[in-house]
Amino acid sequence: MISDTIAAISTGMTPSGIGKVRLSGDSAIEIADQIYRSPKGKKSLKNVPSHTIHYGYIYDGSQMIDEVLVLIMKAPNSYTTEDVVEIDCHGGVVVMRKILETVIKYGARPAEPGEFTKRAFLNGRIDLSQAEAVIDIINSRNEYALKSSVQQLQGNLLNQIKEVRKSIIGSIAFIEAALDDPEHINADDYGMTLKKQIDENMGILEKLLRSCDDGRLLKEGIKTVILGKPNAGKSSLLNYLSGEERAIVTDIAGTTRDVLEETVQVDGILLNVIDTAGIRDTDDTVEKIGVEKAKKYASEADLIIYIVDGSTSMDENDLEILKLIRNKKTIILLNKIDLDLKTTKAAIEKETEHPIVEVSVKDRKGLEQFSENIRQMFFEGKLTFNDQIYITNVRHKAAIQEAADSLKMVLQSIADDMPEDFFSIDLMNAYEALGKIIGESVGEDLINTIFSDFCMGK
Amino acid sequence: MSYTYENYDIAVIGAGHAGCEAALACARLGLKTIVFTVNVESIALMPCNPNIGGSSKGHLVREIDALGGQMGKTIDQTFIQSKMLNKSKGPAVHSLRAQADKHDYTEFMRRTLENQENLTVKQAEIVDILTEDGHVSGVVTHTGGIYPCKAAILATGVYLKARCLCGESITYTGPNGLQAATHLSDSLKRLGIELVRFKTGTPARIDKRSIDFSKMEEQFGDETVVPFSFTTNPEDVQKDQVSCWLTYTNEKTHEIIRSNLDRSPIYAGVIEGVGPRYCPSIEDKVVKFADKNRHQVFIEPEGNYTNEMYIGGMSSSLPEDVQYRMYRTVPGLENARIVRNAYAIEYDCIPATQLKSTLEFKKVEGLFSGGQFNGSSGYEEAAAQGLMAGINASMKLLGKEQIVLKRSEAYIGVLIDDLVTKETHEPYRMMTSRAEYRLLLRQDNADMRLTPIGHQVGLISDERYEALLEKKAMIEKEIERVKHVMIGGSKEVQEFLEAHKSTPLKTAVSLAELIRRPELSYEILEPLDKEREPLPEGVIEQVNIHVKYEGYITRQLRQVEQFKKMEVKLIPEALDYNDISGLRIEAQQKLSAVRPHSVGQASRISGVTPADISVLLIYMEQFNRSHRKETV
């Protein structure tokens, strides 16, 4: 039986030393071979024996991504009993992600939740007694994926996808209504109108694709809040994080939120920073962060960065906030060590057990230590990624890409002067692909749109 | 007093479009068959529109013909105008539609039934289905006659507890004032069959002599007529055709309708049945599309020897006096004399999810059904189901494999799969957009797709089958050839291309590549193709389509491969969905209600998610493995 090739990161997004990207299916070896290069550049994975390990590099075209070990396991002697390839890379989140996206680009598709296990079971690899456990895995992961899929989508992004879908189904309905009832509705020369619509939709999809790359489509980083009094240096820190060390930086002027969020990267670790400075900007009357707001953010955050202005004395607010964040993962930055210190590290230490780093954000002093602290917390497992969100993001990207590719095919058909009925084939594919993101299947959508938009009939 | 008549293999109840195909198929397959009709005059009656075919329906007729059915042959003999719709579009949506002489059509079909070996025509209303141990054992007529049989096919159309409405006037009759069938519904309920109520409607018929055609646009048939049946010689269908006429409603019409809506049984709430959205009554059009200031009206002849004209687009259940006023606002109909009023009709039918894909009831062995009774609409949809019900009832009695056409194989497959899988809330009509793989399911290749199946079943003669194989071989050979014929950029070629507004060649290309250009075709390129041998037209058509649309066709074929994987995974009949603990309750309920035969069918049930399908697959594997162990 033919099976398509699925791919996933199988080590989870914990920053263990090694990350594994796993492929399973008929083209697993062929896909790996296209992106793998041996040190001498001569080896082809297609010809190597089963259960062998190959040292080399992963390339996306001419761009080298990582130094890797590739494990080849041929059917039927693998976990899924299909051809399986495991790519062991250096475990950086960014690297794993890049490799996964590359194998998808070369023909694999993101695995459905629990799909490796499902295949292993269906192919007889997992004992009968495990069936219920397998079902549980599938159910729980699907439930999660479904929830995160829609909930994590930013409100305006969700709306954009819905708008594009609506426009697409409208076009299909017009074409189909005309084909069904040519004496009532005329679709001649519809190509030009359609082209304009598709161009617009393509623009939106391309923007969405970039959002996926930024980790912006779903907020996949560690939820981080910077707290501190005005002028403590919150904005400078954020600028520093997003300006100089940034690999991924975006700011969403949230239409559904009143805060600015930025996704930044510290040593390959994604931080999703809520910029409380932004709150102050939108609310002039409150010139300092109230305890109430600190409370709210502190309760939601995975990581708190609390900035203390060393050039001023600690006051009651500082003490109250320190109490509030007692049980949260926190790094305290004692800022402005370039000035005369009115608050010392020792003074803060009396109030808290959180690590304290002395820095001068302005002079870029002590910030390596800060990064090191974050790295440590992450590697010790104190901070974790939500890998399900991340995986959902990859799945979304593949779906948007699929939709964009289908729309390109429609443009091609229009350019080739194909009859109108050919357009709706690829339009439907695009509609379906986008539906996967928001968890909607096609069902009777088309028929319903036809009948509600067009007056048909004998 | 009841008495027992002679035994039959199969009893067909109803002789409309479904019943005719069912009865003919059974008899032609050698089974002793009897077909019951409330009135012999109403065999193959066309109580609504006077045409056969149309978008996607034309495909169905072609498929019926390719399988060895009758509809295509009959319309080829009795049409009075013919058109290929969507000719400017791709080959997948070309659709034949022919205006029928209604009388001739009915007459021809009746003679075909009457002269069919193994077939008895009997005028009687069936009031009861007899069963033994859950298996059909006979049928009973209203006069008490018992006809023992091994299988029965229900093709009752719109006759069960039929009720016709025209304004305040309600009559308990079938279409055209024919007697309704009032007893069978109760018998079916006793067998545990669930019934629902649907409605449909038809416009008025108007005396031709009262119509001023000078105010209308004339609609002609095609200059060259293409026959429906693959067995009809195209030369035999080139004949004089009659015209149809186009006119429009206007604001005056709409005003009359709006101000009388309270007298419409639908808007007054008298009608309980659910009507179809695709052929709305003129009241519905005016209400739902209030911004449209006119609607098209097609005036179509009912036959060569009648003055009745069908008023397409203006079906209605408004009272007679309103109808008169309404029709007379339409240009050309100012003096219209109505021969038959428009009316709506309500009837009992079934949610077809009670059927297997073979059209046999899951609850009653040997009981099959087809046509409008299954919740569909349209003559062609009915005929297609009747044919399949006839074939499968016969296969069952002959102990042969029953036929389920796949969605990737035929529109008939799509039609039946939709009916038995999805909850239908209105009479179901075929549409090309319902077919996922329509590029493969063209009306031009219905014979290639289905005639081998018709032959396997026994409805297609060896002779016809061999002719098909020969055609297939010629097509394949010619496609291969055009891929290898190279055309160079000689002066003759460049001039030829220029003359056809096609870009000149830079390097030599294959003939196939030139055929793919939108402005060129296999036929046009004949002068450049020096070694071409004359081929039949049907072959040329296939070569052209295959070469021109090869990329799209290949893509759809790949999708079909994916699709088939889940279709071949059959669900064990003994499976109890309530045992599958991981399945959501909604999925358990839906699956238990439909009892799909394959995982593919399960995935098409609304409310069943991909995760449910994964769970089902795991459970089936578990089920199969433990059963395998037991048998070892």
Cα nearest neighbour of B84 on chain A: A182
Secondary structure of residue B10 in the 3-state scheme: strand
Same domain, A378 and A230: yes
Give chain B positions within 8 Å (CB) of A109. Answer: none
In a domain, A238, yes or no: yes
Q: Is B157 annotated as a binding residue?
A: no
Q: In 10 A of CB B619, how many CB atoms?
A: 22
DSSP B144-163: SEEEEEEEEEE--TT-BT-E
Distance from CA of A441 to the nearest CA of B (A): 9
Q: Is A27 annotated as a binding residue?
A: no
Give chain A positions within 8 Å (CB) of B93. Answer: 179, 419, 421
Same domain, A226 and A325: yes
Q: Tell me which residue of B301, B40, B14, B289 sits closest to B158, measured CA to CA.
A: B14
Tell me how far apart the alpha carbons of residues A184 and A180 are, in angstroms, rounded to a whole number.
9
**Tell me: the pLDDT tens digits for B581-596?**
888 888 999 999 999 9
User: What is the number of structural domains in chain A?
Assistant: 3
Summarize the confidence of residues B64-79 as an average pLDDT: 98
Interface touch A458/B625, C-beta < 8 Å: no
Sorted by where each starts, the structural domains of chain B and their CATH numbers stand as 3-200+347-457 (3.50.50.60), 205-345 (2.40.30.260), 464-559 (1.10.10.1800), 569-631 (1.10.150.570)
Distance from CA of B376 to the nearest CA of A (A): 15
- Beta-carbon contacts of residue B414 (< 8 Å; ≥ 6 apart): B407, B430, B434, B435, B436, B441
Element (H, E) at B620: helix B610-631
In a domain, A98, yes or no: yes
Tell me how far apart the alpha carbons of residues B387 and B75 are, in angstroms, rounded to a whole number.
16
Give chain B positions within 8 Å (CB) of A176. Answer: 431-433
In terms of C-beta density within 10 A (0-12 exposed, 13-18 middle, 19 or more buried), how is residue B248 classed? middle
Looking at every residue in chain B, the average pLDDT score rounds to: 95
CATH code, A68: 3.30.1360.120
Q: Is A252 annotated as a binding residue?
A: yes
Same domain, A378 and A432: no
Distance from CA of B529 to the nearest CA of A (A): 24
Q: Is A276 annotated as a binding residue?
A: yes
Same domain, A161 and A280: no
Q: Is A155 annotated as a binding residue?
A: no
SS (H, E, C) B475-499: HHHHHHHHHHCEECCCHHHHHHHHH
Q: Is B289 annotated as a binding residue?
A: yes
Dihedral (C-alpha) B558, B560, B563, B567: value to the nearest 10 degrees?
-140
In a domain, A340, yes or no: yes
A142 close to B (CB below 8 A): yes
Structure tokens at B72: 């295509």
Give chain B positions within 8 Å (CB) of A112. Answer: 610, 614
Same domain, A44 and A179: no
Same domain, A291 and A359: yes
Structure tokens at B605: 């049930």
Residues in A 167-206 with any Cβ partner in B closer than 8 A: 172, 176, 179-184, 187-188
CATH code, A344: 3.40.50.300
**Tell me: the pLDDT tens digits for A3-12?**
789 998 877 6
Distance from CA of B280 to the nearest CA of A (A): 7
Give chain B positions within 8 Å (CB) of A445. Answer: none
> Where is the domain boundary, A384, A402, A434?
A384
Tell me how far apart the alpha carbons of residues A267 and A281 are, in angstroms, rounded to a whole number.
29
Structure tokens at B231: 């067995």
Structure tokens at B95: 């659709």
In a domain, A179, yes or no: yes
- Beta-carbon contacts of residue B30 (< 8 Å; ≥ 6 apart): B118, B394, B398, B458
- Beta-carbon contacts of residue A110 (< 8 Å; ≥ 6 apart): A6, A7, A8, A100, A104, A391, A394, A395, A398
Distance from CA of A173 to the nearest CA of B (A): 9
Q: Tell me which residue of A294, A257, A262 sits closest to A275, measured CA to CA.
A: A262
Interface touch B582/A446, C-beta < 8 Å: no
In a domain, A130, yes or no: no
Tell me how far apart the alpha carbons of residues A296 and A293 are, in angstroms, rounded to a whole number.
5
Tell me how far apart the alpha carbons of residues A410 and B197 are, in angstroms, rounded to a whole number.
42
Interface touch B433/A172, C-beta < 8 Å: yes
- Which one of A138, A180, A455 has the shortest CB-CB distance to B285? A455
Interface touch A122/B621, C-beta < 8 Å: yes
Same domain, A39 and A97: yes
In a domain, A278, yes or no: yes
Dihedral (C-alpha) B560, B435, B29, B452: value to the nearest 10 degrees?
-40
Tell me how far apart the alpha carbons of residues A377 and A329 are, in angstroms, rounded to a whole number.
9
Q: Is the ipTM of this complex over 0.90?
A: yes
- Which one of A114, A179, A422 has the shortest CB-CB distance to B86? A179
Same domain, A238 and A96: no
**Tell me: the pLDDT tens digits for A194-249?**
999 999 999 999 988 887 766 555 556 678 888 877 777 777 787 777 764 333 33
| pLDDT tens for the 458 residues of chain A, in order | 457 899 988 776 555 567 889 999 999 999 999 999 999 888 999 999 999 999 999 999 898 988 999 999 999 999 999 999 999 988 666 788 889 989 999 999 998 878 888 898 888 888 777 777 777 777 776 666 666 555 556 566 778 889 999 999 999 999 999 999 998 889 888 999 999 999 999 999 998 888 776 655 555 667 888 887 777 777 778 777 776 433 333 333 322 233 456 777 777 677 777 766 433 334 433 344 445 666 677 777 888 888 888 888 887 777 777 887 888 888 999 998 888 888 888 888 888 888 899 999 888 888 888 888 887 777 676 666 666 666 677 888 889 999 999 999 999 999 999 999 999 999 999 999 999 888 777 778 888 888 888 887 65
A378 or B509, higher pLDDT: B509
Q: pTM for this structure?
A: 0.86
> Where is the domain boundary, A79, A111, A143?
A111
In a domain, A61, yes or no: yes
Is residue B618 scored above 60 in pLDDT? Answer: yes
Report DSSP state, residue B438: T
Q: Provide the CB-side half-sphere exposure for B376 (13 A, CA).
A: 32
Same domain, A227 and A365: yes
Summarize the confidence of residues B100-111 as an average pLDDT: 98
Is residue B355 within 8 A of residue B374, CB to CB? The reply is yes
> Where is the domain boundary, A51, A81, A111?
A111
Give chain A positions within 8 Å (CB) of B313. Answer: 457-458
Summarize the confidence of residues B393-402 as an average pLDDT: 98
Please count the residue pairs, one from chain A and one from chain B, whose beta carbons lie less than 8 angstroms apart. 130
- Which one of A417, A443, A447 has the shortest CB-CB distance to B518? A417
Distance from CA of A182 to the nearest CA of B (A): 7
Predicted pLDDT of residue A249: 32
**Tell me: the pLDDT tens digits for A122-151?**
888 887 777 777 777 777 766 666 665 555
Summarize the confidence of residues B564-576 as an average pLDDT: 90
Predicted pLDDT of residue A150: 57
**Tell me: the pLDDT tens digits for B193-232?**
999 999 999 999 999 999 999 999 999 999 999 999 999 9
Same domain, A169 and A195: yes
Is residue B68 scored above 80 in pLDDT? Answer: yes
Same domain, A46 and A62: yes
CA dist list (Å): B429 to B56, B58, B175, B357, B432: 9, 12, 19, 18, 10
Tell me how far apart the alpha carbons of residues A294 and B24 are, in angstroms, rounded to a whole number.
82
Cis status of the peptide bond prior to B536, with omega within 30 of 0: no
- Which one of B85, B277, B313 has the shortest CB-CB distance to A458? B313
* Beta-strand pair A260-266/A269-275: antiparallel
In a domain, A389, yes or no: no
Q: Is B301 annotated as a binding residue?
A: no
Q: Is B16 annotated as a binding residue?
A: yes
Structural domain that includes position A276:
222-384
Is residue B629 scored above 50 in pLDDT? Answer: yes
Same domain, A329 and A252: yes
Residue with structure tokens 């629990």? A114
Helices (H), A39-114: 93-105
Identify from A115, A128, A132, A135 which residue to disrupt to test chain B contact, counting B C-beta atoms within 10 A and taking the largest count.
A135
Predicted pLDDT of residue A158: 78
Dihedral (C-alpha) B543, B547, B550, B553: value to the nearest 10 degrees?
-20
